[in-house]
Amino acid sequence: MLERSDTAPLFTATRGTSDHETFELEDHIGDGPTVLAFFPGAFTPPCTNEMVALQDNLEAFQDAGATIFGVSADSPFSQGAFRDEHGIEFDLVSDMSGDVIRKYDLEIDIEELGLYGIANRAVFVLDETGTVTYRWVADDPTNEPDYEELLEAVNTATE
């Protein structure tokens, strides 16, 4: 399990748009804090709540110099539709293969919903060197992070 002070694994995935643009985490390291918000699945109530809450606080995160990325196993098309429907302005990253989810040791199954190999809800803040300065992993994927604590962690990562 990835812990605070670990170097975050770099990865390549696909942006959650219909254009299927490549996303490289390495391209965002060094530009201020990076927030990686892993979520189980678009269009589910807890995930919608979380992504909308991050969007609602986007200006505060940007004022702190942070860039937010939501990461899930959803297809880029699904993520694009999700962003459009909920007015999400930050990028979502599609990890349909589950490679990123496994690198971050977040793979879970929610059998009662027929979901396998998806991301547990988790948030990591990376500083400008790619070091994990904040880590929160849900005990239950229906739980959401403490957004004030997360913003405080972002502000601390810039010091």
Q: Are the CB atoms for 78 and 20 separated by under 8 Å?
A: no
At 23, which helix (H) or strand (E)? Answer: strand 22-24
**Which residues face 29 on adjacent strands?**
none
Catalytic hit among 13, 47, 119, 157: 47
DSSP-derived 3-state class of residue 154: helix
Note if 47 is an active site residue.
yes
Q: What is the DSSP string of 56-115?
A: HTHHHHHHTT-EEEEEESS-HHHHHHHHHHHT--SEEEE-TT-HHHHHTT-EEEEGGGTE
Kind and range of the H or E run holding 17: none
**What's the burial of 27, exposed, middle or buried (CB within 10 Å: 0-12/13-18/19+)?**
exposed
Catalytically active residues, by annotation: 47
